[in-house]
Amino acid sequence: MQNHPVYSDNDPQNELSTLNLGPTHPATHGVFQNVLQLDGERIVSGVSTIGYIHRAFEKIAEHRPFYQITPLTDRLNYCSSPINNMGWHMTVEKLLGIETPKRVDYLRIIVMELARISDHIICNGVLGVDTGAFTGFLYMMEYREAIYEIYEEVCGSRLTTNIGRIGGFERNFNAIAFSKLRKFLKEFPPVLKEFESLFNRNRIFVDRTKGVAEVTAEAALSYSWSGPLLRAAGVDYDVRAMNPYSSYEDFDFEVPVGENGDVYSRFLVRNEEMKQSLRLIEQALVKLEKEPTDIFHADVPEFYLPPKEEVYNNMEALIYHFKIVMGEVPTPATEVYHSVEGANGELGFYLVNDGGRAPYRLHFRRPSFINYQMYAPMSRGMLLSDAIINMSSLNVIAGELDA
Amino acid sequence: MGKITNEELLKNINTKFEGQLTLVGEPFGLLTLETGREQIIDILTYLKTDLSLQFIYLTDITAIHYPEQEKPIGVIYHLHSLINNVRIRIKVFLPDGDFHIPTATTVWDGANWMERETYDYFGVIFDGHPDLRRILNVDDMTAFPMRKEFPLEDPNRVDKKDYFFGR
């Protein structure tokens, strides 16, 4: 951080100006407020105010059965809802001791990695917009649309997906979903390559991002950073590699690590992660060929809603349907922490269950919330324009920040 | 899995802090200990700095409310040793009416907002915290909404009784 003159309040030469950056500023891409003290264009101090879209998810979750909490998780990081959904399903499955079939795990990996790509598309595209390059954003956005169309085939919705159920998926992937997926896998890599060649050696972009907001590995760890931000600072912590879930251990992928934790290395790490995600999806498709095509959920009738036709025609299915909806299936009274590698970092679910229908306590470890707290301290001494692109590269999502 | 088992971990901590920790259990392989607020910062510092343990990563701080207990509010720390790939959970229960606990911001910078959130939700006062204000709720709110006595919805509503919905 550069040196800058510090004025005190009594100083007659105190010419600091106060700037309310946000809560609805076009440059902040979400509801973030930072009250900044500026000396010219340099930030002297800042205070972050958050909570503008706080919706009390943790309180609501204490009054809802497990399967009704999934829509709440959609609205955490709404740029990559499927990862949140899957993380929640896996937490409940861990609690209930449900083992999912391999095919379900692989399908989940496909959906989660697509979500990671769509999240990184937004983050890196927007970073380009903030540095003055609109082309990359619009070019990549087309492929986020392609990903959303795949979601649509799988679950029927696009943004807040509510994808999957406890034990698996609500329906099987159809042929159109697979053909759209293959089309995406074929068309996206050259676009990503072109996107990289637009930016990676672009003089303006490199000047704007390289050396901006450098973060050391020690500082990143002390602030509990996770995800691409921590990896850009040089720490190879990835939940997928360290504590594999959903059969990530069957896959061959690399954890890209940056060097100096600046905006540029975060950009590079995210681009590289998209390539790794594509690799994972391709491997998953190959592995799926060896799995039976009709399995899309675990055989857990106590927790997985039976198909409607069976509910009307089959006594057993009717009983299970009733028991699930009325919450009469006993659950173990214990506590569980499960984390997945969200697009922004370690997304954790701490669930305390008392054997009832709803969680006794559910806490979301939200990476955006934890990553964002370093923003005001690290902005000190930074130029305002650098602070803007620093915020874009943190990829803080308001829904996840405020829960 | 990790290079260090839960038994070794427990033994290591117990030799350093004889009798100051009680074992709660190992739900899903995650060692859970309970301790008092007097020694919590010493324990956290030891876990972070000891070379064989190195719990350098503070995953989460949160709390839980059990209204019937003598010590109703529990603060829960999740730590992660990235070197050994082991997690540990430490709980500290606080007596009624005296929800004070020393801050962990002296050990990790990242504890700042986690503690503010816990204060906001449960009213746990982290002594020594640099900026203990509400973070998600409005500043002039008087209640602590995650405590169990705080109703989710207006209790006077008659059209939405929970027992109609089996909850």
Q: Which residues of B touch A373 (CB under 8 A)?
A: 110, 112-113
Asked if A219 is an interface residue toward chain B (Cβ–Cβ < 8 A), one would say yes
Asked if A380 is an interface residue toward chain B (Cβ–Cβ < 8 A), one would say no
Q: Do A350 and B146 touch (CB under 8 A)?
A: no
State how far residue A52 is from chain B, nearest Cα, in angstroms: 8
* CATH architecture for residues A57-402: Orthogonal Bundle (1.10)
CA dihedral A249, A147, A265, B79 (to 10 degrees): -50
Indicate the residue of B30, B58, B82 with minimum beta-carbon distance to A237: B82
Q: Which amino acid is at A61?
A: A
Q: Model confidence at B161, in pLDDT bands (50, 70, 90)?
A: low
Over residues B50-57, the mean pLDDT reads: 90
Q: Do B167 and A327 touch (CB under 8 A)?
A: yes
Q: Do B112 and A348 touch (CB under 8 A)?
A: no
Q: Model confidence at B157, in pLDDT bands (50, 70, 90)?
A: low
Interfacial A residues in 30-69 facing B (CB < 8 Å): 50-51, 54, 56, 58-60, 62-65
Q: Is the peptide bond before A292 cis (omega within 30 degrees of 0)?
A: no
Please give the pLDDT value at position A328.
81
The stretches in chain A having pLDDT less than 70 are 1-14
Among B62, B114, B152, which would you mutate to test the A interface (most chain A Cβ atoms within 10 Å of its Cβ)? B62
Q: Inter-axis angle of helices B6-16 and B40-49, to 10 degrees?
A: 120
For residues A362 and A62, is the Cβ–Cβ distance under 8 A?
yes
* ipTM score: 0.90
Residue A337 exposed, middle or buried by CB count within 10 Å (0-12, 13-18, 19+): buried
State how far residue B102 is from chain A, nearest Cα, in angstroms: 18
Indicate the residue of A54, A62, A222 with minimum beta-carbon distance to B109: A222
The H-assigned helical ranges of A23-80 are: 57-61, 70-74
Indicate the residue of A56, A64, A365 with minimum beta-carbon distance to B145: A56
Indicate the residue of B30, B32, B136 with minimum beta-carbon distance to A402: B136
CATH code matching the domain that covers B6-165, chosen among 3.40.50.720, 3.30.230.10, 3.40.980.10, 3.30.460.80: 3.30.460.80
At A282, list the tokens.
């391709």
The yes-or-no verdict on residue B67 having pLDDT over 70 is yes
d(CA A393, CA A213): 10
State how far residue B95 is from chain A, nearest Cα, in angstroms: 19
Residue A63 exposed, middle or buried by CB count within 10 Å (0-12, 13-18, 19+): middle
Over residues B80-102, the mean pLDDT reads: 92
Over residues A241-280, the pLDDT tens digits come to: 999 999 999 999 999 999 889 999 999 999 999 999 999 9
Average confidence score pLDDT of chain B: 89
Among B57, B115, B132, B134, which would you mutate to test the A interface (most chain A Cβ atoms within 10 Å of its Cβ)? B57
d(CA A393, CA B57): 22
How many helices (H) and strands (E) chain A has is answered by 17, 6
Q: Between these two residues, B72 and B155, which has the higher pLDDT value?
A: B72
Quick check: helix, strand or coil at residue A187? helix
Q: Do A219 and B162 touch (CB under 8 A)?
A: no
Q: Do B108 and A222 touch (CB under 8 A)?
A: yes
Please give the pLDDT value at position A1.
43
Over residues A127-179, the pLDDT tens digits come to: 999 888 888 899 999 999 999 999 999 999 999 999 999 999 999 999 999 99
Q: Do A369 and B117 touch (CB under 8 A)?
A: yes
Please give the pLDDT value at position B70.
92
Asked if A94 is an interface residue toward chain B (Cβ–Cβ < 8 A), one would say yes
Interfacial B residues in 30-49 facing A (CB < 8 Å): 30, 32
Asked if B117 is an interface residue toward chain A (Cβ–Cβ < 8 A), one would say yes
Rg (CA), chain A: 23
State how far residue A352 is from chain B, nearest Cα, in angstroms: 9
Indicate the residue of A62, A224, A327 with minimum beta-carbon distance to B110: A224
- C-alpha atoms less than 13 angstroms from C-alpha of B142 in its C-beta half-sphere: 0
Among A222, A243, A249, A347, which would you mutate to test the B interface (most chain B Cβ atoms within 10 Å of its Cβ)? A222
Domain spans in chain B, listed from the N-terminal domain onward:
6-165
Indicate the residue of A94, A358, A373 with minimum beta-carbon distance to B28: A94
Q: Do A402 and B146 touch (CB under 8 A)?
A: no
Q: Do A327 and B166 touch (CB under 8 A)?
A: yes
Pick from A210, A209, A215: which is nearest to A377 by CA?
A215
The torsion angles phi and psi of A283, rounded to 5 degrees, stand at -60, -40
Q: Tokens 């309040």 label which residue? A: A9
The yes-or-no verdict on residue B158 having pLDDT over 90 is no
Q: Which residues of B touch A224 (CB under 8 A)?
A: 57-59, 108, 110, 114
Q: Inter-axis angle of helices A384-394 and A102-130, to 10 degrees?
A: 170
Asked if A310 is an interface residue toward chain B (Cβ–Cβ < 8 A), one would say no
Asked if A198 is an interface residue toward chain B (Cβ–Cβ < 8 A), one would say no
